[in-house]
Amino acid sequence: MPSALPSLILASSSVYRQQLLGKLQLPFSSHSPDIDETALPNECAEALVLRLAEQKARALSHLYPRSLIIGSDQVCVNPVSINQAGVNQSQILGKPHTLTNARAQLLAASGQRITFYTGLAVYDAAKLQMRSLVEPFSVVFRTLSEAQVDRYLEREPALDCAGAFKCEGLGISLFKRMEGRDPNALVGLPLIALVDLLAECGVQVP
């Protein structure tokens, strides 16, 4: 008789990630990891999201020692942000949390190509094996007026989303085009890559 597959744990309290993982029709539980998500000095976006995704997955291993634990983290990068000295430099953008920050993020993204980096990790707690990667996805914004940004935020204040928009909602109207292999990555959980990592762990979907 084949052994039962390990249980699946999503190391996140995000409703968006829970909804995405639900698409795969696998039974899973969710548990929020308690970690410090502060970036390290001079840490690039890819290194940051990969480290945090792995850290989130490992953080729950003592609670679920026989499970496959999924961790994910995301930031977006605006390559033409202006620093206080007036010099162009890329800027890592996280969740805006306030309307003021959300408005500033969207106005800075106007007419720009913004790249999202999503770190994805699957930790086999029983075997102490980590599988992880970074999935990029880019969006090219329309040229947005202040009035357009304000109207969008009145209707859909995406304060808990990196980049200050929800592509699965009205936020799609802000884009000229999308570039990447998996639009789910933009929401926060790259399912195509996740299916690959789960297969390496012996979980076949479908």
Q: What values do phi and psi take at 197, rounded to 5? A: -65, -40
- The domains located in the chain, with CATH, are 8-200 (3.90.950.10)
User: Rounded to two decimals, what is the model's pTM?
Assistant: 0.86
Residues, the chain, total? 206
Q: Cα(111)–Cα(131) distance, rounded to whole angstroms?
A: 36
Q: Cα(158)–Cα(3) distance, rounded to whole angstroms?
A: 43
What pLDDT is attached to residue 7? 94
Q: Cα(173)–Cα(141) distance, rounded to whole angstroms?
A: 9
Q: Cα(145)–Cα(156) distance, rounded to whole angstroms?
A: 16
pLDDT digits (tens, 9 = 90+) for 69-120: 999 999 889 876 544 444 345 678 778 999 999 999 999 999 999 999 999 9
8-10 and 68-82 beta bridge pairing: parallel
- Both tokens of 12, joined, read 């996140």
- Supply the residues annotated as catalytic: 73
Q: Cα(37)–Cα(97) distance, rounded to whole angstroms?
A: 15
- Both tokens of 112, joined, read 């720009």
Residues 10 and 59 sit within 8 Å (Cβ to Cβ) = no
Which residues in the chain come in under a pLDDT of 50?
1-2, 82-88
8-10 and 29-30 beta bridge pairing: parallel
Beta bridge partners of 72: 120
What pLDDT is attached to residue 161? 86
Q: Cα(49)–Cα(144) distance, rounded to whole angstroms?
A: 28
Mean residue pLDDT of the chain comes to 90
